[in-house]
Amino acid sequence: MLPFLSIGCMIAAVVVLIVLSVIDLRTRLLPNIWVTTFAGLGILFHWSAGGAYLGPAAVMLGGLAGFGTLFAIRAVANHLYKQDALGLGDVKLMGAAGLWLGPEGVMLALSLGAFAGLLHGLAVGLYQAGKTGKKPDFTRLQIPAGPGFSVGIVLAGTYQFLDL
């Protein structure tokens, strides 16, 4: 077990999630290099922790669960809305989160992230309504999903790794 490396991976992961959130807010993109870095840090974290949190099978199942669940949600939403409702960057981000959190943890992160995104959308809609004096139109509101998912990932990770 290499505790300093594990802690370093956690700190670096939070920094990467902040960078991803800022990029997504500005450009509506989650660059592969940053998502891949986040995924690699998750694998390095579990290796350095000696499997104390998740074994290799749970790490891989988590990646598949995160990616697969959001990919299915994306497919349904894109069909219903006839446009991209979620980008593939969001799908890859949740796949990477699954490598960190395992199958159960990534479902918690997805739920918390969706709720954080809802709060973000409400805040943006109400802010825009206050600025324009018009009733908010939440049916047309588009916000990036990455920041909400990042909040969900950090909250789920805090719960899981600090054993709260």
Q: Where are the domains of the chain?
A: 3-161
pTM of the full structure: 0.95
Q: Read off the pLDDT band of 164 (50, 70, 90).
A: low
In total, the chain counts a number of residues equal to 164
Q: Which residues contact 61 (CB under 8 A, 6 or more apart)?
A: 98, 102, 103
Per-residue model confidence as pLDDT tens digits over 52-88: 999 999 999 999 999 999 999 999 999 998 988 899 9
User: Hey, how many other C-beta atoms are within 10 angstroms of the C-beta on 64?
Assistant: 15
Per-residue model confidence as pLDDT tens digits over 118-147: 999 999 999 999 998 999 888 888 999 999
